A and B are shown apart, each in its own frame.
Chain A
Amino acid sequence: MKISIEPTVAVENPPPLAPRTLLQRSGAATLASIIFIIDTLTSIHIAIAVLYVAVILMSVNLFSRKGVIGVSLCCIGLTLTAFFLSHGTDFNSSAFARCLVSLSAIGITTLLALKNKAANDELQEQVRLLAQTHDAIIVRNMNGVITTWSPGAEALYGWSKAQAIGQDFRTLLRPQLTLPWEQMMNSLIETGQWEGEVVEHRRDGSPVTVVSRCSLSRDENNQPKAVLATHNDITEQKRAINALRRSEAFLAGAQWLSQTGSIGLKIPSGEMYWSNEARRIFEFGDEELPLLSSVLKKTHPDDLDLVKTSIKHAYQKEPHIKVEYRLLMVDGRVKHVQMLAHPVHDAAGNFEYIGALMDVTDAKMSEEALHRSQTELAHVTRITTLGELAASIAHEVNQPLAAVTTNCTAGLRWLNREVPDLDEVRSAMERMMSETHRASEVIRRIRAMSRKTDPQSVPIDLMEVIEEALALVDREVRRNKIVLDHQYDIAAAEIIGDRVQLQQVIINLIINGVQAMSNAKGKPRTLHLRLRRSDAGEVCVDVQDNGPGISPQSMPKLFNAFYTTKPDGMGMGLSICRSIIDAHGGRIWATSEAGEGAVFHLSFPTNNKESA
């Protein structure tokens, strides 16, 4: 019969039962059996079955609710069995009355026991739950002595329950409050509650930040009896908040340093977000609402279309937006900004453009200043080069002038003859005209070279540039008894660039070659100039001399500013050549074999229009 009970229990409590519980259960079963035997076999006229109450009371702490009901039903069954075995179906006897009394007693006891068990189980559950929370639950009396120490407290502070209970709370945890202890206690006694951040110490001495929630419990005389406190560890949270704050501060610092602000634009609502640095760049007030219209208002009128197009692209959800434009401040200052934005989707399907806005005014200004000084330096070196060529150029102009003078006097003499020879006069005048034109061509070239203008970016034929350059240096080359031959391997060499600056580079390279050979005695001096197309399709110019060549020591420094091998050289020529060629997107380099002369190479990317 006891076996019939077991399966229910086993299902309810699958884990192996403690031996003690098993023993108690067998005790209860034995007791029930003894009562049954006495009830059945003896004929004592008392309600022995009432004793089953004891079995039920025993089972309350041993079984679950269903188990207790089962035990109760068993007891009722046993009582009825004993009755029928002893008395048969004699329902009028006093025995039957006793049986009824016993059954009522068993039923009432079961009901009471179950009710009590329900209340008890609820309490147990609450305790279990409480024990499971990570929060530390500490109860201390008004002297600060710990009376309750939860598993959460054990885990948090490292002190076991046995170690903590009976200890002074303040000695054990060394709490540090932001306000005096007395003030906290006063507030607690007054209101019955207190909540605040406290830094306490673990068993290993490490600090732990907790949020402490205290409530005061009072005795029946309404006197403060104990303090119930839950301590919640917020050290990690605190660290995370601090880390976030720090990273925000880093970001703000970085934004300030790099003059880069952040902008967010939600699509399609148009809602905006500006970081502080973005506000500073736009020069918006702190209270100004982030609106697209305010951004447009600060945009330079000339760049308005550009910005509007970018915004349109953002609304079209383009994956990448990069725009460089100008802002016009109220006082007329112009700022150059660069914006780089990309879209971000969140899980809810919201679409937002996150952009970095960079104030590049300073960089732009320095770039312009650098550009200006480079242009100026190029001009100065050009003038210097012309200075070096002065003697040749003077001769170049003087030659036609001498011819003009001579033709003029000859013409006059032909006129003054007794019979003027008008044919001779006419041809003299024609020669004067062509010589005047020749002189003015030389002057035009010099003027073009000495002109100080911003570099242009126009399609030019490199061949024409070379021809012009050769015309300017022709006499200088001849004066140094150098044979210059040029070879054009291609019919057209159109590139994008500045005619005068490129001419300057060619002249510089030729003069360098001429000067390199001017000391070479004995062997014939030749300067070879070649225009060709490389295998990669670039337009190339090679200027080759047969002077002493470039030493391996000089080679790496060749294009450095102020590097010169000439006694009166400034060391700017090749340096300027390089910055000019760089600005044209081309390359300049030199090759040389000792004693075999040097070759300077230029290469330019082909004009796209030409190849298209």
Chain B
Amino acid sequence: MNDDSSYAAKGPVVFVIDDEAPMREALSSLFRSVGLRVETFSSPTEFLQCPDPDLPSCLVLDVRLQGASGLEFQHQLAESKVALPIIFISGHGDIAMSVKAMKAGAVDFLVKPFRDQDLLDAVAAAHQRDAKRREIDQKDAGLHACYQSLTAREREVMAHAAKGLMNKQIAGEMNLSEITVKIHRGHVMKKMRAKSFADLVRMAETLGVGPKR
């Protein structure tokens, strides 16, 4: 199951699920030849036992698997909030199936036998997507931490400010003096590490505390 390679211990990982050993071996060889780390599994159950490597990764999944179908497994992953990019490979060029897979967020749907470059491109795209997702996830995680450090008053000021209210208006809304609002606002900018007011508005939007439009 494990093709742990020494070429790129920290590089992106490709997970392969295919019930046919010859195909697993061939895919593993192909990915390793271009310096990718590969982990192969004969069934989704086996795959689920493997820990998340916390690295950009993707899943090459055979549509037709013994027991369960690949599409069902894609659905199952989405349900459990695993946002792993999936590339489907299939022995049948079934349009309905590919449409369903793509709608459910698959990176690509390749029909066997496929061109190696197509697969490698799809894998690269998937890795890129996963890296970006991981980056965003990380960023979101920092933003949340900052937001958590705000006091209740500061959060309220931030929300009003993000709506585009003037300090004077905020003071009126909150029954505070304009000075106090100004101080709170300064704290918010500092705590949220916002470089500009526009930056703060974007953050508020990401956090869902922004203006409701």
Residues of A that sit less than 8 Å from B by CB: 391, 395, 398-407, 409-411, 413-414, 417, 421, 424, 427-428, 431, 434-435, 438, 478-479
Give, as a whole number of angstroms, the nearest-CB distance from B66 to chain A.
Answer: 6
Contact status A399-B116, CB under 8 Å: no
Q: Name B80-130 residues within 8 Å CB distance of A.
A: 91-92, 112-116
27 contacts between A and B (CB under 8 A): A398-B112, A399-B20, A399-B23, A399-B91, A399-B112, A402-B26, A402-B91, A402-B112, A402-B113, A403-B22, A403-B26, A405-B113, A405-B114, A406-B27, A406-B30, A406-B113, A406-B116, A410-B29, A413-B30, A413-B116, A414-B33, A417-B33, A421-B33, A427-B29, A431-B22, A478-B66, A479-B64
Residue of A399, A411, A479 with most partner-chain B CB within 10 A: A399
| Complex alpha-carbon distance, A349 and B20, angstroms | 85
Bound-state CA distance A417–B32 (Å) is: 11
A401 to B20, CA, bound (A): 13
Give the distance in Å from the alpha carbon of A409 to the alpha carbon of B34 in the complex.
11
- Residue pair B29, A407 in contact (C-beta under 8 Å): yes
Once the chains bind, are A409 and B116 in contact (CB under 8 Å)?
Answer: yes
CB-based contact B113/A401 at 8 Å = yes
| Per-position binary interface string of chain B over residues 165-194, scored 1 when its CB falls under 8 Å from any chain A CB and 0 otherwise | 000000000000000000000000000000
Q: A399-B23, A406-B116, A424-B32 are in contact. List 13 more A-B contacts (CB 8 A).
A: A395-B91, A399-B91, A401-B112, A402-B26, A406-B27, A410-B29, A413-B34, A414-B33, A427-B29, A428-B29, A431-B25, A431-B29, A478-B66
- A405-B113, A406-B113, A478-B66 known; A400-B29 Cβ under 8 A: no
Question: In whole angstroms, what is the CA distance A434 to B22 when docked?
Answer: 9
CB distance B23 to A406 under 8 Å? yes
For the complex, what is the distance from the CA of A421 to the CA of B7, rounded to whole Å?
13
Query: Closest Cβ of chain A: how far from B98's Cβ, in Å?
Result: 16
Which residues on the B side are within 8 Å of A428 (C-beta)?
26, 29
Other-chain contact of B29, A395, A414, A417, A478 (Cβ < 8 Å): A414
Report B-chain residues with C-beta under 8 Å of the C-beta of A409: 30, 115-116
Q: Which residues of A contact B33 (CB under 8 A)?
A: 410, 413-414, 417, 421, 424
B residues sitting closer than 8 Å to A (CB atoms) are 20, 22-23, 25-27, 29-30, 32-34, 64, 66, 91-92, 112-116
Which of B23, B26, B30 neighbours the largest number of chain A CB atoms within 10 Å of its CB? B26
What's the Cα separation between A431 and B113 when bound, in Å? 16
In the bound complex, residues from chain A placing their C-beta under 8 Å from that of B26 are 402-403, 406-407, 410, 428, 431
Residues of B within 8 A of A414 (CB): 29, 33
Minimum C-beta distance from B22 to chain A (A): 4
Chain A residues within 8 Å of B114, by CB:
402, 405
Interfacial chain B residues near A401, Cβ < 8 Å: 112-113
| Chain A, residue nearest B66 (CB) | A478
Which residue of chain A lies nearest to B22 when distances are taken between CB atoms in the complex? A403
When the two chains form their complex, are residues A410 and B30 in contact, meaning their CB atoms are under 8 A apart? Answer: yes
Kindly report which residue of chain A lies nearest to residue B115, judged by CB atoms: A409
Q: How far is the CA of A479 from the CA of B63 in the complex (A)?
A: 12
Contact residues in B for A398 (Cβ distance below 8 Å) = 91, 112-113
When distances are taken between beta carbons in the complex, the residues of chain B under 8 Å from A431 are 22, 25-26, 29
Return B31 CB to nearest CB of chain A, in Å.
8
CA A438 to CA B23, docked complex, whole Å: 13
What number of residue pairs across chains A and B have CB atoms under 8 A from each other? 73
| Complex Cα–Cα for A421 and B32 (A) | 11
Closest-by-CB residue of B relative to A415 is B33
* Chain B, residue nearest A478 (CB): B66
Report how far A438 CA is from B32 CA in the complex, Å.
Answer: 25
Q: Which residues of B contact A421 (CB under 8 A)?
A: 33
Contact partners of B116 in chain A: CB under 8 A: 405-406, 409-410, 413
Q: In the complex, which residue of chain B has the Cβ closest to the Cβ of A397? A: B91
Q: In the assembly, what is the distance between CA of A395 and CA of B26, in Å?
A: 17
Question: How far is it, in angstroms, between the C-alpha of A402 and the C-alpha of B25 when the chains are bound?
Answer: 12
Which chain A residues lie closer than 8 Å to B66 at the CB level?
A: 478
The distance in angstroms between the C-alpha atoms of A536 and B181, with both chains bound, is 102
Tell me the bound Cα distance from A434 to B20 in angstroms: 13
Bound-complex Cα distance A183 to B33 (A):
129
CB distance from A62 to the nearest CB of B (A): 132
Distance in Å: Cβ of A351 to nearest Cβ of chain B: 78
A299 to B118, CA, bound (A): 75
- The residue of chain A having its C-beta at the shortest distance from the C-beta of B91 within the complex is A395
Given that A399-B20, A434-B22 are contacting pairs, would A424 and B29 also be in contact in the complex, using a CB cutoff of 8 Å? yes
A479 to B66, alpha carbons, bound, how many Å? Answer: 9
The residue in chain A whose Cβ has the minimal distance to the Cβ of B112 is A402
In whole angstroms, what is the CA distance A398 to B115 when docked? 14
Q: Are A395 and B30 within 8 A (Cβ)?
A: no
Complex CA gap A312/B27 in Å reads 77
Bound Cα distance A421, B92 (Å): 33
Residues of chain B with a CB closer than 8 A to A395's CB: 64, 91-92
Question: Which residues of chain B have C-beta atoms less than 8 A from A404's C-beta?
Answer: 113
Q: B113 CB to closest chain A CB, in angstroms?
A: 4
Complex CA gap A421/B29 in Å reads 11
Contact in complex: A403, B23 (CB < 8 Å): yes
Which residues of chain A have C-beta atoms less than 8 A from B32's C-beta?
A: 410, 424
Q: Which residues of B contact A427 (CB under 8 A)?
A: 29
Q: Closest Cβ of chain A: how far from B160's Cβ, in Å?
A: 58
Determine the chain A residues whose CB is within 8 A of the CB of B64 once the complex forms.
395, 479
Distance A413 CA – B32 CA, assembled complex (angstroms) = 10
Tell me the complex Cα distance, A391–B91, Å: 10
Closest to A406 in B: B26
Q: Is the CB of B92 within 8 A of A391?
A: yes
The interface residues of chain B lying within 8 Å CB-to-CB of A400 are 22
Our pick among A402, A424, A479 for the contact of B23 (Cβ within 8 Å) is A402
On chain A, the residues within 8 Å of B112 by CB distance are: 398-399, 401-402
What's the least CB distance linking A392 to chain B, in Å? 10
CB pair A435 B113 closer than 8 Å? no
Least distance between B116 CB and chain A CB atoms (Å): 4
User: With a CB–CB cut-off of 8 A, which chain A residues contact B20?
Assistant: 399, 403
Most buried by A among B25, B29, B34: B29
Determine the chain B residues whose CB is within 8 A of the CB of A405 once the complex forms.
113-114, 116
Considering the chains assembled together, what is the distance between the CA atoms of A411 and B34 in angstroms? 11
The CA of A555 and the CA of B33, in the complex, are separated in Å by 61
**Chain A residues, Cβ within 8 Å of B22:** 400, 403, 431, 434-435, 438
| Chain B residues, Cβ within 8 Å of A438 | 22
- Residue of chain A at shortest CB distance from B31: A410
CB neighbours of A417 from chain B (8 A): 33
A470 to chain B, nearest CB (A): 16
Chain B residue contacts of A478, Cβ below 8 A:
66
Q: What's the least CB distance linking B69 to chain A, in Å? A: 9
A400 CA to B23 CA in the complex, in Å? 8
Q: Give min CB distance, A563 to chain B, whole Å.
A: 33
User: Chain B residues with Cβ under 8 A from A479's Cβ?
Assistant: 64
